[in-house]
Amino acid sequence: MTVRAGRGTLGPGHRHVPRILPAGQHHGTAVRRQSGDGFAVFEVSYAAGARYPTHGNEQASLIFVDRGCCTKRMGSRELELARGSMLFLPSARLQADWFPVATTFLAAEVAAPLLARLRDAGTPLVDHAQLAPEDARALGARLRRELAETDAVSPLIVESIVLHALASTCRGRATRRIRRPPWLVQVKDLLHDRALALPRLSEIAAAVGVHPGHLSREFRRFFGVVPGEYVRRLRIDFAARQLADTEASIAEIAFATGFSDQAHFSRLFRRMIGHSPREHRRLARTRAG
């Protein structure tokens, strides 16, 4: 995302009172995709050539450009949002938008109490901020995947991604922590204990005394996945043991591990284990025999 002085790309300013859009309302076509503790995620589509005059949003927002691009004017500055970029906007931040091509945002509305908790944890978000390109692409791809194929663990994963992104917007170029925080071991133990019960990220964070956003960011830094993805892996590992050690049907095991869609369960199982649930059961029994 490039910042440059405004030179009229959006056309002359309109003489009007800027509108503040209430929570849940967006220019373009919006579909609510997921909700969590203090946020809601929407997929918002904009037509090629669409222009919107100066406006703001009642709630702060985290925007990921999933497809297309956008020019966003804020005061005398313009932001060029390319595909794969991610931007945080505080509540009521005035902006005007131009979409030169058909564009899709994944936009998370963030409630004030969640931002207050981030501020109290040392992560104040008071003005627009962007993620580093590599972080934006990685987190955006994860968010897109979870919204496309949801299961019982998806709300926890989406919450982890949103909190991670919010915490990362203020990280800047601070020196990266080298030593793993000792509380991360406790987090892993709690996730193992509660994997099938689907713990809430806020509960795990409270148990170890850190902010959920900080927990998600540090967990991914040291373990390579956000907590929700780790829980999903634990559930798939549990399913693999059940397939090998019990006579329960694949549908029963999928349901017991939080997957209401057996086809989705089978796709994830193959992706993580390397073969289908049916093949896994057959191989396990061949080795046992």
Identity of residue 53 = P
Report the run of H or E that residue 67 belongs to, with start and end. Answer: strand 60-67
Q: How far apart are CA 99 and CA 77, in angstroms?
A: 16
Q: What is the mean pLDDT of residues 270-283?
A: 89
What residue type is 189 in one-letter code? D
Backbone angle region of 75, left / alpha / beta, with phi > 0 → left and psi within -120 to 50 → alpha = left
- Does residue 267 register a pLDDT over 50? yes
Q: pLDDT tens digits for 206-258?
A: 999 988 888 988 888 888 788 988 899 899 999 999 999 999 999 999 999 98
Q: Catalogue all structural domains in the chain, each as residue range(s) with its CATH number.
A: 24-145 (2.60.120.10), 175-289 (1.10.10.60)
Q: Tell me what the pLDDT averaged over the chain comes to.
A: 84
pLDDT at 261 over 50: yes
Partnered with residue 86 across adjacent β-strands are: 64
Instruction: State phi, psi for 54 to the nearest 5 degrees.
Output: -55, 130
pLDDT tens digits along 146-197: 888 888 888 889 888 988 888 887 654 343 445 778 898 899 899 989 988 8
Tokens (6 digits) for 220: 């991914």
Q: Give the residues across from 77 on adjacent strands.
A: 5, 74
Query: How many beta carbons lie within 10 A of that of residue 257, not counting itself?
Result: 24
Longest Cα–Cα distance in the chain: 80
Confidence band of 8 (pLDDT split at 50, 70, 90): very low
- Nearest Cα residue to 33 out of 112, 91, 109, 135: 109
- Give residue 105's pLDDT: 94
- Separation between Cα atoms, residue 87 and residue 169, nearest integer Å: 8
| Residue 108 CA to its chain's centroid (Å) | 8
pLDDT of residue 121: 65
Residue ranges of E strands in 185-235:
none
pTM value surpassing 0.85: no
Query: Pairing mode, if any, of strands 19-21 and 51-57?
Result: parallel
Residue 146 to residue 141: CA distance in whole angstroms: 9
Q: Reduced to 3 states, what is the DSSP secondary structure of residue 212?
A: helix
Distance, in Å, from the CA atom of 130 to the CA atom of 82, rounded to the nearest integer, reads: 12
Whole-number Å distance between alpha carbons of 281 and 272? 15
For 64, the enclosing helix (H) or strand (E) is: strand 60-67
In this predicted structure, the answer to whether residue 278 has a pLDDT above a threshold of 50 is: yes
Residues written for the chain: 289
pLDDT band at 134 (very low <50, low <70, confident <90, very high): confident
Residue 62's pLDDT is what? 92
95-125: per-residue pLDDT in tens? 999 998 899 999 999 888 888 877 776 666 7
